[in-house]
């Protein structure tokens, strides 16, 4: 018996000694200047501090920015006339005001018969998040998104390359038009939009100043121009611009982790995300769902042979697959979420299945990076994400020829 004990101890010691000889990936250490340089070299630049700098990023030949256009877009963003029942606007679901007055859509949703939501709006109604913080988007008549998709924020959205969860829309102007017409969002036709605006003398005048006439295309352009000004700046931006004291030591460690672990491979650019379409999850450790939870009321009475058990029992996500959405072309390809203000846009992932930012970080480490992040590493990364919190910049908007 002692012989086997000695052999076991010898093997353990041998394995331990060999592990010290194996090559390890040394994590790069950064001082403030090196950390800033590392982030900037990976295209993680700060957001524009001035309107002139903003124009360099968002002004396009298809939709030239102007003060009149932005002012009109701001009005239209908050205009309930653009919804079928004249009861919701873009701002209803993409909340910008810290002192929200119109809470009706939220109260209706929160008291609806569906009571299994992860609705962070309950505690964060006053956050300037650019989203509604519901698990699933709610629109015209209280209709929920048919795929149970989470509402994306409008903050910094014009700096992203993709506007939807599946990346099918690439401009804010196009997304505006689709949202107005969508039956589960504002549910208003192009013809009715133009008719209503033409009957309003105030808008006829504003459209004449910004464009030549009232048209649905000009509605898209005006709101698009306004969205391009909804840009936030944060402690992270001030750090990138040279202020070493803008971020805490813990947040800097989180940024170093973010760079070292490979998060920056997908979450890059000025928006720290939103620049590419990527597969999620890359690593599928999941997911056999309890079959008893997979049957609906209408399934009762059907023969067992009627069911596709592979479809019923399996999905690749590390959370419940509410809505059944599988990304672009059904291939688990999703727009990489922007991380600016991410701490204000819970719940997380495409169907809002995860309420807590720490859990979201842990899941991303496990399923995208193949890493089991420690509590300390998660805390540091979350502290970095907090440094991305910012308010909308109050740009001094002037016409381009006076910039």
Query: What is the DSSP annotation of 262-280?
Result: TGGGTS-TTTTS-S-EEES
Can you tell me the mean pLDDT for 37-47? Answer: 95
Return the pLDDT at 308. 46
Average pLDDT over residues 261-271: 96
Indicate whether 222 pLDDT > 80: yes
Q: Please, are residues 158 and 223 in contact by the beta-carbon 8 Å criterion?
A: no
Token pair 């018969």 in the structure block, residue: 113
Which run of H or of E encompasses 254? helix 249-261
Instruction: Give the pLDDT of residue 290.
Output: 40
Instruction: Quote the pLDDT of residue 90.
Output: 96
Question: What backbone torsions phi and psi does residue 232 show, to the nearest 5 degrees?
Answer: -110, 150
Listed residue (172, 165, 160) closest to 232, CA to CA? 160
Could you tell me the domains of the chain? 30-47+232-293+307-391 (1.10.760.10), 51-231 (1.10.760.10)
The average pLDDT across 11-32 equals 53
Inform me whether the pLDDT recorded for 25 exceeds 50: no
More confident residue, 80 or 118: 80
**DSSP per-residue codes, 196-240:** HHHT-HHHHHHHHHHSSS--HHHHHHHHHHHHTT--EEEHHHHHH
Instruction: For residue 338, give the 3-state DSSP assignment.
Output: coil
Q: What is the pLDDT of residue 98?
A: 57
What average pLDDT does this structure show over 246-256?
Answer: 98
pLDDT of 120 reads 61
- Which of 11-20, 175-184, 390-399 ranks highest by mean pLDDT? 175-184
pTM as predicted: 0.83
Q: Is pLDDT at 22 greater than 70 in this prediction?
A: no
For 3-25, what is the mean pLDDT?
Answer: 46
pLDDT at 347 over 70: yes
Please tell me the distance from the alpha carbon of residue 45 to that of residue 26, in angstroms, as a whole number: 26
Strands (E), 65-195: none
3-state secondary structure of 35: helix
Q: Phi-psi bin for 145: left (phi > 0), alpha (psi -120 to 50), beta?
A: beta
Predicted pLDDT of residue 314: 63
pLDDT of residue 199: 98
89 near 145, Cβ under 8 Å?
Answer: no
pLDDT (tens digit per residue) in 131-186: 998 999 999 999 999 999 999 999 999 999 999 999 999 999 999 999 999 999 99
* Segment holding 15, helix H or strand E: helix 2-21
Angle (nearest 5°) at CA 220 between 72 and 126:
65
Would the pLDDT of 198 be above 70? yes
pLDDT value of position 30: 84
Cα–Cα distance for residue pair 42/83, rounded to 1 Å: 41
Calculate mean pLDDT across residues 371-392. 97
Round the average pLDDT of the chain to a whole number and report it.
Answer: 85
pLDDT band at 20 (very low <50, low <70, confident <90, very high): very low
Q: What are 284-314's pLDDT values in tens digits?
A: 875 544 433 433 444 444 443 444 444 445 6
**Token pair in block for residue 39:** 């982030």
Task: Kindly report, residue by residue over 92-117, the tens digit of the pLDDT.
Answer: 999 987 545 554 554 555 445 444 44
**Residue 112: both structure tokens together:** 């609806």
Chain position carrying tokens 């800097």 = 252
For residue 252, count other CB atoms closer than 10 A to its CB.
22
Cα distances (Å, whole numbers) of residue 337 to 255, 333, 375: 17, 12, 23
């Amino acid at each position: 018996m002692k012989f086997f004990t000695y052999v076991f101890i010898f093997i353990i010691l041998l394995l331990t000694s060999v592990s010290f000889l194996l090559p390890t990936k040394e994590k790069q250490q950064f001082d403030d200047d090196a950390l800033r340089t590392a982030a900037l070299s990976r295209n993680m630049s700060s957001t524009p501090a001035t309107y002139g700098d903003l124009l360099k990023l968002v002004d396009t030949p298809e939709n030239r920015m102007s003060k009149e256009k932005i002012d009109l877009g701001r009005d239209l963003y908050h205009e309930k006339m653009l919804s079928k029942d004249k009861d919701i606007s873009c701002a209803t679901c993409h909340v910008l005001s810290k002192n929200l007055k119109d809470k009706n859509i939220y109260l209706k949703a929160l008291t609806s018969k569906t009571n299994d939501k992860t609705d962070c709006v309950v505690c964060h109604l006053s956050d300037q998040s650019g989203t509604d913080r519901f698990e699933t988007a709610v629109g015209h008549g209280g209709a929920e998104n048919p795929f149970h998709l989470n509402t994306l924020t409008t903050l910094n959205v014009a700096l992203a390359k993709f506007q939807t969860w599946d990346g099918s829309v690439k401009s804010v102007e196009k997304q505006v038009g689709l949202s107005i017409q969508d039956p589960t969002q504002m549910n208003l036709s192009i013809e009715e939009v133009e008719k209503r605006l033409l009957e309003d003398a105030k808008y006829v005048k504003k459209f004449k100043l910004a464009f030549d006439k009232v048209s649905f295309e000009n509605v898209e352009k005006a709101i698009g121009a306004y969205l391009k000004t909804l840009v936030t700046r944060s402690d992270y931006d001030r750090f990138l611009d040279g202020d070493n004291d803008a971020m805490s030591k813990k947040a800097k460690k989180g940024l170093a982790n973010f760079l070292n672990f490979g998060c920056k491979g997908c979450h890059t650019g000025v928006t720290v995300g939103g620049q590419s379409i990527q597969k999620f999850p890359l690593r599928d450790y999941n997911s056999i769902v309890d079959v008893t939870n997979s049957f609906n009321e209408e399934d009762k009475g059907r023969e067992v042979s009627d069911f596709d058990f592979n479809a019923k029992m399996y999905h690749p996500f590390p959370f419940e697959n509410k809505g059944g959405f599988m990304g672009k072309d059904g291939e688990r390809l999703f727009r990489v979420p922007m991380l600016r203000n991410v701490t204000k846009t819970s719940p997380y992932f495409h169907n809002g299945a995860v309420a807590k930012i720490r859990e979201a970080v842990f899941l991303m480490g496990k399923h995208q990076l193949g890493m089991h992040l420690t509590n300390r590493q998660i805390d540091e990364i979350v502290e970095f994400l907090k440094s991305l919190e910012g308010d909308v910049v109050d740009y001094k908007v002037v016409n381009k020829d006076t910039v």
